Amino acid sequence: MKTELDKCLAGEYYNCHDEIFLIYKNKTRALLTKYNNLSYDQKTEKREVLKSLFGSIGTNVSVGSPFICDYGCNTYLGNNVSVNMNCTFVDCNKITIGNNVLIASNVQIYTATHPVELDERLTPDWNPESGAYFCRTYALPVTIGDGCWIGGGVIILPGVKIGAGSVIGAGSVVTKDIPKNCVAVGNPCRVVRRINGDYKHD
């Protein structure tokens, strides 16, 4: 029988108030409080907190503060990654960020979502004593490929994959997959041109 965590990572409806998620949130809030109160030059201490926070973290990674995430353990960062200040990662499902990636300030990455139709969105036979959330929730992974640059204020929605070497213009809302080696902008985000060459770095 699937646990609520299994359901979550499989992209199925899950109870986001299940005990495992409350444990994750409590641990993550404590780590974030510690991290966001460290000074800019406390790089060794920051690295140790990020190692405890994230599912995995590569070399030469910087995360500006303040930083907010949901579980932390579902975020995976490659090598040479810069996440600027005031970013929010709602990592109920996996957020995978490749190598040599720039993420500007105020970027928001969401994996959790709900059905659009109200009768599907509301939890059937819900009551306040059940411990379940009144709305159905599911989560889809987000992947940002190697060599991407995500501009300031970009919002990336659940289930999106951004191909290696692509650039997402500031303020864009990425609702669908973006192929590799493209410049894409707008709301909804659309490809406006190809980038010459092909991303070949490790």
Pairing mode, if any, of strands 138-139 and 182-185?
unpaired
C-alpha–C-alpha distance, residues 201 and 115, integer Å: 39
C-alpha–C-alpha distance, residues 160 and 183, integer Å: 16
C-alpha–C-alpha distance, residues 168 and 147, integer Å: 12
C-alpha–C-alpha distance, residues 91 and 93, integer Å: 5
Whether the Cβ atoms of residue 77 and residue 57 lie closer than 8 Å to each other: yes
Peptide bond just before 115 cis, omega within 30 deg: no
H-helix segments, the chain: 4-9, 19-36, 43-53, 118-121
3-state secondary structure of 157: coil
* Residues with catalytic roles: 114
